[in-house]
Each structure stands twice: as structure tokens, then as C-alpha cells.
Amino acid sequence: MVTYSSPQDAEDAFYDAIDEKDDDKMRGVWEDSTDIACLLPMQPLIRGRTDVTQLWQHLFRANITPQISVTHIAWIDKDDVAIHLVEEQVSSTGGKSIPPMYATNVYRRGPDGWHLLLHQNAPTPPPPGAPMGRPPG
């Protein structure tokens, strides 16, 4: 298992694994626990090491190569748990930009260093004054 000395090291490895579509690197970022979970937009909650690993393997084999730029919004680091709130700006193959996503990454320090426990992301809200949802009628 890979050892990360800080939550930021684990986070950097997580986004590197996505950029590189690297299964091994992605597996090394996650805590070796049944507690881990991943919640992506329009997807069911995925729990447990086997299912989370399969989710990322499936995403890596898709015919898209996202480029993700991360902006840190807030960090909450307390003892052996760290919560990172970030904005992910994603652009896909061909440079097509999509609206940013907000993500929450939760890390826990164990005997083997810091590892990812939860990744959740969701679309950012529309700008003020923009219509939300479908119009009535």
C-alpha cells in the first residue's frame, strides 16, 4: 500500500490517477476499508473497496480523457480526519468545458498514512437569476 504523509499528498495522487487513468494509483489512494464510498452525479452511492475500484476502472475505460483543475475552497483538518472542499473545473477531450463541480474529499490517517475515505461531487448551482430546473407547464 502507498503511504501518503498528508491529506494533500493523497489528494494530489487522487487527481493524478484520474488524469493518468491509472488503476493502480487510484487503488493506492483509497483506504483499504469497507468504509470507503464514492458518490458521483446521477450515480448510486458506491461503497466498499471492490465496488469503488470497479467504478473507477469502468470510468477509466470510457472513451473520454478529462482534464481536471482543482481550486481549494476550504479545508477542515482535525486530528486523524481531513475534509477538503474543492471546485473541480473539468474539460474533456477536444477542450470542451463543462460547468464546474463542487467536490468533498474526506481523508483519514491510519497506520499506513493518509488515504481517501469519501469522494463526492455535484454540479455547482446556477448563477444568481438563472432559471432552475424545468419551467412550469
pLDDT band at 71, cuts 50/70/90?
Answer: very high
Hey, where are the domains in the chain?
7-123
Q: Side chain identity at 62, as an amino acid letter? A: A
> How far, rounded to the nearest angstrom, does the alpha carbon of residue 79 sit from its chain's CA centroid?
22
Q: Structure pTM?
A: 0.87
Strand segments, DSSP code E, in 10-80 are 37-39, 46-47, 67-78
> How far, rounded to the nearest angstrom, does the alpha carbon of residue 11 sit from its chain's CA centroid?
9
Tens digits of residue pLDDT in 1-46: 789 999 999 999 999 999 999 999 999 999 999 999 999 988 899 9
Q: Note the CATH number of domain 7-123.
A: 3.10.450.50
Q: Taking a C-beta distance cutoff of 8 angstroms, is the pair 86, 105 a contact? A: yes
